[in-house]
Structures are given as C-alpha cells and as structure tokens.
Amino acid sequence: MRVIILDSAKDVAQFAANTIIDTVNRKMRPTLGLATGSTPIEAYRAVIDAYKTNRVSFAQTVTFNLDEYIGIKEEHVQSYRYFMNQHLFNHIDIPLSNTFLPGAASLNEAQLHKNAHQYEEAIKKAGGIDLQLLGIGKNGHIGFNEPTSSLRSRTRIKSLSESTIEANKRLFKNGEYQPRLALTMGIETILESRQLLLLATGSTKANAVKDMVEGPLTAMCPASALQLHQDATIVIDSEAADKLVMKDYYLWCEQQRQDLE
C-alpha cells in the first residue's frame, strides 16, 4: 500500500484528478471505476477543468460506478446516475452510453440478481477496470460493502448499515425517502481493478483510515482488503491521517520516492 499524506483536501482532489487524467491519456480505451459521495466531488471538478483546457479527452473512456441505490429511478435527484451526470459526465466529452452504473431501479429480487451478474459481465467485456477510484465510509466500507461483507464478494444486493444511513442522511431532504438497499460491486470485484486509488479527507475518516492501513485484514473493515492489492494508493489529508501510528514513515517513504522520480 502506498500512503500519501497531503496538506489539504484540495491537494487530495488535485492528486486524484491528475491520476485519472494520466490514466486516460496513457490508454487507448481507458476504463475507469468511479465513486460518488462528497469526497470525489472536488476531484471531478479538477477533471472537468482539465477537459475544458484541452488537457484530456474522455471520448474513448468507459466508466463503471461502484454502486447505486435500489428502487430509485435514474432520473431521480438522489440516484447515483443523477449525481454522476451532474458532477462529471454532463461536463466532459464522454458518451453517456459508455458510462455504467449497476441497474438498480427495479425492486424485483430476481431482476436485481440478473443485473448484478450482467454488471460483472460488462466489466469483464470491457477488459477490466484500469483505475478504480474509492472513498471510505466512517465504518470502513468501500462501495456499499459494509462491515462483515465477504472479502470474496462480487456485485450484489447489500443492506446499508445504520451508520451509513445516518452518515448519508445529510444528503436527503426532511421526509424524503432514503433507500436502505443498494447494488454494489463486491470486494473481490474491486480488488480485480488493476489500480486502486482511495481518497479520504477530514477527521471523521481518521479511525477508518487507521483500521484500513494499520489494522488487521478483516471483514469488519472492508477497506482493509486493499492490503491485498499490489497497486493500491491511499491519498489522504493530514486530518484523515491523524490516527496513523506510522505517519512519519509514510511521509519519509514519499520523500525517498521523490528522489527516485
């Protein structure tokens, strides 16, 4: 695991944007795995800026999002499809037909299983994911793989935990229906991406970051599964790094790397 500690959330966003841009510019037909939530919004803004100043084109890019709420139609303002269109896709030159989220609008279980399977197949058909962007929940979830998720899980239905429902409450208006189920890529699906980039900012993520990086590999902290990946980078601001016991070592490692580069 490479742990990069930067001064501010803005630096984290710029780092993430640069990594996305480099990947897209390097590949003929890049495949990105994307996340929603508050954390990547600034990074998406920086990506849009890069597109508008002709530093990158997404005309050949294919994207797969980590998750989508079950029972919410794509056009609904709370859907992750709506989020992605609003925060990224509508502002860059990616054909919308190249952007995929798990098909979760149905409430029919058999249909959802079928959609989950098709999502896995679509990722395979696209040649796998080159770069998967991730956030982390306060409880250590990645995607909607809540604590106790199987480390071998694949795209499937997950019940959101109370802590996730509580954390995401802020995004729903008073009285607005808040889904409790989602279709999410599994932990094994995520680990199959060739490169992982997890972003975390702010003190509310400090415990989860510590468990992910320095805790045991355990389904109680799904993000700890990143310890198994050969190319996983964790980019965090100083607040999110606050509980790391080996913080000085990670900073030292990055200094040494700069000498190499």
> Does 81 participate in binding ligand F6R (rule CB under 6 A)?
no
Q: Kindly indicate which of the ranges 16-24, 29-37, 50-58, 213-221 contains the residues binding ligand F6R, using the contact rule CB under 6 A.
A: 29-37
Q: Report CA 178 to chain centroid distance, whole Å.
A: 21
Among the listed residues 9, 123, 142, 212, the single contact to ligand F6R using CB under 6 A:
142
Among the listed residues 5, 32, 35, 131, the single contact to ligand F6R using CB under 6 A:
35
> Does 179 participate in binding ligand F6R (rule CB under 6 A)?
no
CB of 23 to ligand F6R, least distance (A): 19
Dihedral pair phi/psi, residue 102, rounded to 5°: -60, 135
In the complex with ligand F6R, which residue's Cβ is closer, 137 or 147?
137
CB of 142 to ligand F6R, least distance (A): 6
Determine the Cα–Cα distance for residues 93 and 251; give it in Å rounded to an integer: 37
145 classed as catalytic:
no
Catalytic position from the list 120, 130, 146, 237 = 146
Q: Kindly indicate which of the ranges 33-41, 146-154, 155-163, 172-180 contains the residues binding ligand F6R, using the contact rule CB under 6 A.
A: 33-41
Determine the Cα–Cα distance for residues 111 and 163; give it in Å rounded to an integer: 28
Determine the Cα–Cα distance for residues 207 and 199; give it in Å rounded to an integer: 14
> Does 14 participate in binding ligand F6R (rule CB under 6 A)?
no
In the complex with ligand F6R, which residue's Cβ is closer, 57 or 207?
207
Residue 197's beta-bridge partner residues?
A: 133, 233
CB 161 within 8 Å of CB 147: yes
Q: How many CB atoms lie within 10 A of CB 241?
A: 24
> Does 66 participate in binding ligand F6R (rule CB under 6 A)?
yes
Dihedral pair phi/psi, residue 119, rounded to 5°: -65, -45
Strand order in the sheet with 31-34: 2-6, 232-237, 195-200, 131-134, 31-34, 62-65, 99-100
- Mapped onto helix, strand or coil, the DSSP state of residue 13 is helix
Among the listed residues 135, 140, 147, 222, the single contact to ligand F6R using CB under 6 A:
135
Determine the Cα–Cα distance for residues 16 and 10; give it in Å rounded to an integer: 10
146 classed as catalytic:
yes
261 classed as catalytic:
no
Catalytic position from the list 139, 145, 192, 237 = 139
Catalytic position from the list 67, 68, 120, 237 = 67
CB of 113 to ligand F6R, least distance (A): 20
67 classed as catalytic:
yes
Q: At what angle do helices 80-87 and 41-52 cross, to 10 degrees?
A: 40
Catalytic position from the list 87, 115, 141, 145 = 141
> Residues interacting with ligand F6R, by CB under 6 A?
35-39, 66-67, 135-137, 141-143
- Residues annotated as catalytic (active site), given as ranges: 67, 139, 141, 146
